[in-house]
């Protein structure tokens, strides 16, 4: 479902009418905005006045796509997905939320036939150690902006990113995908997972998380804003914190940071 099953690219642009039709099963009243070009879909939703709608914003390209830790997110025109959605916050405890968003994404990609996916805590989606997707979650007053970038139809073999290993759905499957289909599936899945998260927290997703956690049992390094912690990863706890045992056998529980393997493979 969703793939065009062909070798030569026939670009399908983002289509508001088609997307709205596919999003009709949503329980949450929504508004969808599609831009040909915008600085950042996350920034757009952060600046939008609060109203009663769940807002979705997608763009063909972003001139200032933003990644975690203030990084730039490469956003070539009409190739990939740059999609943000803004949801009301209905729980005061959001720990583990970003892990749940990555599980929603995995679920959607698997339904499209993509296998061998893993998650590098908290929410980097990897395929055979290469980065396929990134998630940037920003919390403002009573709302949550979830920004998702998925490398879909980019030819990552011919256009490698200078600073990191990355891949796309095209590289994995040899097929081009209709991004409208993937975005619709993703938003529908997010609604379902966010509802479950609001009621039961991250604990309800623990078993699912274990299947995709690529850090557990590995010796890793976590960079935080002002410190670095190295040790063996023991997995995550019921609130989604990463558990690290250092060389002195001290246990650390981390709520944020960026993980890398000791051999620096991701």
The span from the CA of 176 to the CA of 9, in Å, is 7
* Using rule CB under 6 A, residue 96 touches ligand BTN: no
**The two structure tokens encoding residue 186:** 């993703």
Site string for ligand BTN, 140-179 (x = CB under 6 A): -------xxx------------------------------
Task: Tell me how many residues contact ligand BTN (CB under 6 A).
Answer: 20
Among 2, 96, 134, 231, binds ligand BTN (CB under 6 A): 134
Shortest Å distance, C-beta 133 to ligand BTN: 8
Shortest Å distance, C-beta 171 to ligand BTN: 18
Site string for ligand BTN, 75-94 (x = CB under 6 A): -------xxx----------
3-state secondary structure (DSSP) of residue 32:
strand
* Using rule CB under 6 A, residue 71 touches ligand BTN: yes
* Angstrom distances, CA of residue 197 to CA of 4, 17, 40: 33, 30, 27
Per CB under 6 A, contacts with ligand BTN among 106-125 are: 124
The span from the CA of 181 to the CA of 183, in Å, is 6
* Using rule CB under 6 A, residue 240 touches ligand BTN: no
Among 23, 30, 32, 65, binds ligand BTN (CB under 6 A): 65
Q: Are strands 117-120 and 81-88 parallel, antiparallel or unpaired?
A: unpaired
**The two structure tokens encoding residue 114:** 């993509």
Nearest to 202 by CA among 166, 236, 170, 231: 236
**The two structure tokens encoding residue 17:** 């009418």
Whether residue 46 contacts residue 140, with contact meaning beta carbons closer than 8 Å, is answered with yes
Among 32, 56, 62, 257, binds ligand BTN (CB under 6 A): 62
Among 4-12, 14-22, 65-73, 102-110, the segment contacting ligand BTN (CB under 6 A): 65-73
Count Cβ atoms within 10 A of the Cβ of residue 61 and give its class: 0-12 exposed, 13-18 middle, 19 or more buried.
middle
Shortest Å distance, C-beta 263 to ligand BTN: 21
Among 2, 32, 40, 182, binds ligand BTN (CB under 6 A): 40
Query: What would you report as the CA-atom Rg of the chain, rounded to the nearest whole angstrom?
Result: 18
Nearer to ligand BTN, 67 or 76 (CB): 67
Exposure of 238 in the CB half-sphere (CA atoms within 13 A): 4
* Using rule CB under 6 A, residue 68 touches ligand BTN: yes
The footprint of ligand BTN (CB under 6 A) covers: 40-42, 62, 65-68, 71, 73, 82-84, 124, 134-136, 147-149
């Amino acid at each position: 479902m969703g793939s065009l099953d062909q070798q030569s690219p026939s670009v399908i642009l983002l289509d508001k009418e088609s997307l709205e039709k596919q999003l009709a099963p949503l329980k949450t009243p929504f508004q969808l905005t599609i831009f040909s070009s915008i600085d950042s879909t996350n920034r757009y939703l952060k600046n939008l006045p609060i109203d009663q709608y769940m807002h979705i914003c997608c763009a063909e390209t972003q001139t200032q796509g933003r990644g975690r830790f203030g990084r730039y997110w490469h956003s070539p025109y009409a190739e990939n997905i740059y999609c943000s959605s803004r949801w009301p916050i209905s729980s005061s405890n959001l720990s583990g939320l970003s892990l749940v968003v990555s599980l929603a994404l995995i679920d959607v990609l698997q339904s499209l036939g993509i296998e061998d996916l893993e998650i590098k805590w908290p929410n980097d989606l990897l395929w055979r150690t290469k980065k396929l997707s990134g998630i940037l979650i920003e919390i403002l007053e009573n709302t949550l902006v979830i920004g998702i970038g998925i490398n879909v139809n980019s030819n990552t073999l011919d256009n490698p990113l200078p600073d990191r290993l990355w891949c796309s759905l095209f590289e994995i499957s040899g097929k081009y995908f209709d991004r409208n289909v993937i975005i619709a599936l993703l938003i529908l899945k997010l609604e379902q997972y966010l509802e479950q998260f609001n009621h039961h927290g991250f604990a309800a997703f623990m078993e699912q998380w274990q299947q995709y956690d690529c850090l557990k049992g590995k010796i890793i390094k976590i960079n935080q804003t002002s410190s670095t912690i190295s040790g063996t990863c023991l997995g995550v706890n019921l609130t989604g914190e990463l558990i690290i045992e250092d060389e002195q056998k001290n246990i650390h529980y981390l709520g944020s940071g960026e993980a890398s393997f000791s051999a620096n493979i991701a």
